[in-house]
Amino acid sequence: MSQTNTPPTDQQLSEFVYHEALILDELRFDDWLDLFTEDGYYWMPLSPTQTDPLLHTSLLYEDKLLLKVRIERLHGKRTYSQQPQSRCHHLLQQPVVLERDDAQGRYQVRTAFHYVETRGDEQQLFAGWATHELLNTPDGLRIALKKVQLVNCDAAFGNIQLFM
Buried b (16+ CB within 10 A) or exposed e, 89-124: ebebeebbbeebeeeebbbbbbbbbebebbbeeeeb
Mean pLDDT of 82-107: 95
**For position 105, what pLDDT does the model report?**
97
**CATH number of the domain at 10-75+84-150, out of 3.40.640.10, 3.10.450.50, 3.30.1330.30, 3.40.140.10?**
3.10.450.50
Residue 110 pLDDT exceeds 90: yes
Closest CA to 107 of 27, 20, 17: 17
Residue 75 pLDDT exceeds 90: no
Residue 1 pLDDT exceeds 60: no
Higher pLDDT residue, 84 or 1?
A: 84
The DSSP secondary-structure symbol of 22 reads H
What are the extents of the domains in the chain? 10-75+84-150
